[in-house]
Amino acid sequence: MDYFRIRGGTPLQGNIRISGAKNAALPILAATLLTRDVSSLSNVPHLNDVTTMVELLGALGAEVSVDETTMLQVSAAALTNQRAPYELVKTMRASILVMGPLLARFGAAEVSFPGGCAIGSRPVDLHLKGFEAMGAEIDVRDGYIVATTRDGLVGCDFTFETVTVGGTENLLMAAVLADGRTILRNAAREPEITDLVCFLRGMGADIAGDGSSTLTINGVSELKASHYRVMPDRIEAGTFLVAAAATRGRITLEGANAEHLGVVVDKLRDAGVSVLVEEGRITADMRSGRPKAVDLITAPYPGFPTDMQAQFTALNVIAEGEGQITETIFENRLMQAREMSRMGADIKIDGRTVIIRGREQINGAPVMASDLRASASLVIAGLAAVGETDIDRIYHIDRGYERIEEKLQSVGANIVRKSR
């Protein structure tokens, strides 16, 4: 099993190019099932989750290829079945996103209950309630969610009880081919959803309200081919910015979009980081000294993203002062705090809040990753620590970061991938 060995204490210095966003690429790949035409996608990151989604499309009968320019092409002209198998769905929660496109195009879909990171309960009940509001019949058989329609999906006025990114994406994709108008209220507002909307518009979908909490979709009879470039990964960008701050270095990110980061940049500045924003570039400079601890509470976009909470936990560990971080989205997403305690961090867990008193120095230690973003936070802690840190179970990080060790090596990090 692979692990990272990190020798910390070196300030990061240099430039890193940001990859395409995993959380945008996955729903866009699912949306290619909505048309018989060939869809072409660029800036798709090379990640385990993307590979799983490509395998899932193939299992459904789609043909996926990569041309000489690394453009990903998907043809779903002749799908052979509408059943997403357990073997693939169990490893990635985003697999549930094929349900909306399959139900919209074929009137039937069978998807195993999804898996993914063990960060807490992420029920799909709001997806299913939305499909039922659009006329689908839902049943559960042998661990599979079975959805069918008698005469196709119909538009509806649906309000999400709580904000859900996956639910918004799934119902949005289902609605573009439904009969009539669909209004989705209390919809998620993440930039990745806007990216999906832009892709669907390129296919001929009629959607209004992206960027707001109300989406209005007028169903069309069919969708056409689309050629699209996936947005840059704002979470990868945020992770590298925090790594620069934690190591008291200076990093410039190429191809990043600061508008997508929002409050993350604000919190970095609160921590004393000099952040320079230019078109397509973000520079974080912490060479002036030790960062300051910050308080934050996670919230749906445009609030502070849950996917950046663990990284800021690592920053607070070596920061000056005391900071409190509260996780409101997922109940089990503070597990990295216990591992950081093994490195000498002064951390107290109180329910969904971690209280951190920053220390001038933490020490390398053997630690174990519990999920994707916890993996990234332990990498940051290891880069900032004195001595050697071994991080086990890094298959989590391969789900969401493209060649992270190579990118960090390019800016001076002493990090290597090893096998036991």
Active-site position among 117, 271, 293, 329: 117
Q: What is the rounded distance in angstroms from the CA atom of residue 389 to the CA atom of residue 406? A: 17
- Give Cα separations from 27 to 157, 307, 344 (angstroms): 22, 17, 40
Active-site residue, 117 included: yes
DSSP 228-275: EEPPB-HHHHHHHHHHHHHTT-EEEEET--HHHHTHHHHHHHHTT-EE
Tokens of 215: 């989406």
Helical H segments across 292-410, by residue range:
309-317, 335-341, 372-384, 395-398, 404-409
Q: Which of 68, 383, 37 is nearest to 243 (CA)?
A: 383
Contact 98, 84 (CB under 8 A): yes
| 208: Cβ contacts below 8 Å, ≥ 6 apart | 215, 216, 217
Q: What is the rounded distance in angstroms from the CA atom of residue 263 to the CA atom of residue 265? A: 5
Q: What is the rounded distance in angstroms from the CA atom of residue 172 to the CA atom of residue 93? A: 17
Q: What is the DSSP letter of 343?
A: T
Sheet with 13-17, strands from edge to edge, namely: 13-17, 250-254, 281-285, 274-278
Contact 419, 1 (CB under 8 A): yes
- Strands 157-159, 181-185: pairing is parallel
Sheet with 227-229, strands from edge to edge, namely: 63-66, 72-75, 38-42, 227-229
- Strands 388-392, 366-368: pairing is parallel
Tokens of 287: 């060479």
Q: What is the rounded distance in angstroms from the CA atom of residue 39 to the CA atom of residue 202? A: 10
Cis peptide bond upstream of 302, omega within 30: yes
**Catalytic positions:** 117
